[in-house]
Amino acid sequence: MRTMILALTPVNLGDATDWRNCVAAARAVAEPHGASVGAVLVGGTAEDAQAALMAGADKIWLLSDAALAEQIDPAQFAALFADALALPDLSGFRLALLPVGGVGDAIAASLAAKLNAALLGFCISVRLTETGVTAERPAYGGRACLQVTANGPCLASMRVAETEKGAETGTVETLILNTDLPPAPPISRRDSGVQNASLDGAKIVVSGGRGIGGPEGFAQLADLAAVLGGALAGSLPSVDAGWVPVARQVGQSGKFVTPHVYVAVGISGTPQHMAGISLHTRIVAINKEQDADIFRFAEIGLVGEWQQVIPALLEKLTEKNECMRKAGS
Ligand SMILES: Cc1cc2nc3c(=O)[nH]c(=O)nc-3n(C[C@H](O)[C@H](O)[C@H](O)COP(=O)(O)OP(=O)(O)OC[C@H]3O[C@@H](n4cnc5c(N)ncnc54)[C@H](O)[C@@H]3O)c2cc1C
């Protein structure tokens, strides 16, 4: 029987994570082995099923109870996926991928415990072997790469650049499960006091690298992000130096961002950093070295010291915003 790689994904992830990436990642693993792709979508609609087919699934199991369109707890998702994986068509799976990120990680951990499956975590690549899978995953904040092998059922997450394979045909089956959902933990919300816009889903990102040299420079980048209505981010060295929180690291071992515009300041443009930026994002680069690699990716490049460029940019933008405010009042 043809091996099937599974994508297990809630459709409403509650943040900017693109669930279709999970399906596309399953396709990327399946293709070199001639395997097929099955996707279990929780909380999706017929349009979502079509999007999953476009992302490369051959068969969809759609669990579309209206109550599931609301954000539900990772343990509840895990309970639903565990029941789905007990179905005759899905049991005996070899590899299932979950979405990259906190929600996907939490579901994978809970599901691995339920199924006694190997939990591979976030991987850079996953390949099928004769008896199981072998995967590469970043470790120590991306400074090392581990090779892990496992036999028996495995759970992992992986990111791919493209989510659309084109109009594929496949079958969609509606799933009806009578899962006894565990109660969701009560959530109390309070204001963290942090004013910076979230990186997830930001349309504009202002990101600083080692060239910024310290927290004072990052304070100016935060001002620029605020004036532009965007979010602040940084490269690995600036996170290591403590100038920007780790949750705002962009790159191979950090976040994958998909803004319209990414302003890279004092960032050289290494492959590990660029791996965190969508191919569809427009890059504006500010760097003092005209040969910096970042200019190869940038649509607009400014050669200069950020100490001169950023204050001037801030002044102009603040002036412009003030004019627009007056014109509007
Ligand atoms: C497995 C692995 C995973 C990794 N994951 C990540 C990751 O997720 N994210 C990530 O960012 N890195 C990651 N890295 C690290 C990556 O290889 C680079 O070390 C890092 O991206 C470099 O960051 P940078 O561009 O800030 O620093 P640098 O490469 O040191 O570049 C600094 C730039 O600032 C410019 N500059 C200096 N002073 C000024 C000034 N006054 N004005 C303007 N420009 C100035 C310089 O010309 C230079 O181009 C990873 C590495 C490995 C091995």
* DSSP codes of every residue in 80-127: HHHHHTTSTTTTT-SEEE--SSHHHHHHHHHHHHHHT-EEEEEESEEE
The answer to whether 205 and 199 have CB atoms below 8 angstroms apart is yes
Same domain, 160 and 236: no
Q: How many CA atoms lie within 13 A of 74 on its CB side?
A: 16
Number of folded domains that form the chain: 2
- CA of residue 144 to ligand 1 center, whole Å: 16
pTM comes to: 0.68
Non-local CB neighbours of 190 within 8 Å, separated by 6+ positions: none
Instruction: Identify the residue whose C-alpha is closest to ligand 1 atom 4.
Output: 142
163 Ramachandran zone, left/alpha/beta (phi>0; psi -120 to 50)? alpha
User: CB neighbours (10 Å) of residue 279?
Assistant: 9
Q: What is the pLDDT of residue 69?
A: 65
SS3 category, 268: coil
Quick one: tokens of 233?
């981010």
Q: Residue 193 domain-assigned? A: no
Strand pairing of 36-42 and 4-10?
parallel
CATH number at residue 46: 3.40.50.620
Non-local CB neighbours of 329 within 8 Å, separated by 6+ positions: none
Give residue-wise pLDDT tens across range 186-232: 777 776 556 678 888 899 999 999 999 999 999 999 999 999 999 99
- pLDDT tens for the chain, 329 residues long, are 789 999 999 997 755 567 999 999 999 999 999 999 999 999 888 999 999 999 999 999 999 876 676 667 899 999 999 999 999 999 889 999 999 888 899 999 999 999 999 999 999 899 999 889 999 998 765 667 899 999 999 999 998 877 777 767 889 999 888 888 888 777 777 765 566 788 888 999 999 999 999 999 999 999 999 999 999 999 999 999 999 998 899 998 888 888 999 999 999 999 999 988 988 899 999 999 999 999 999 999 999 999 999 999 999 999 988 888 888 76
Whole-number Å distance between alpha carbons of 179 and 191: 34
Rg from Cα positions in the chain = 22
Same domain, 23 and 150: yes
Q: What is the pLDDT of residue 17?
A: 66
Same domain, 165 and 240: no
Q: Residue 192 domain-assigned? A: no
Q: Which domain holds residue 33?
A: 4-174
Same domain, 150 and 263: no
Same domain, 23 and 147: yes
Same domain, 283 and 156: no
Same domain, 142 and 270: no
Same domain, 47 and 147: yes
Q: How far is CA 254 from CA 90, 141, 233, 247, 257, in A?
A: 32, 8, 10, 8, 10
- DSSP 8-state secondary structure symbol assigned to residue 2: -
Same domain, 124 and 264: no
Determine the residue of 159, 206, 268 to mutate for testing ligand 1's pocket, defined as the one with the most ligand atoms within 8 A of the Cβ atom.
268
CATH number at residue 322: 3.40.50.1220
Same domain, 128 and 211: no
Which residues have C-beta atoms less than 6 Å from ligand 1? 138, 142-143, 145, 209-211, 235-238, 249, 251-254, 266-268, 270, 272-273, 276, 286-289, 292, 305-307
Q: What is the pLDDT of residue 73?
A: 87
Whole-number Å distance between alpha carbons of 15 and 128: 31
Secondary element (H or E) of residue 300: strand 300-303
Same domain, 13 and 146: yes
Q: Which of 303, 49, 7 is nearest to 171 (CA)?
A: 49
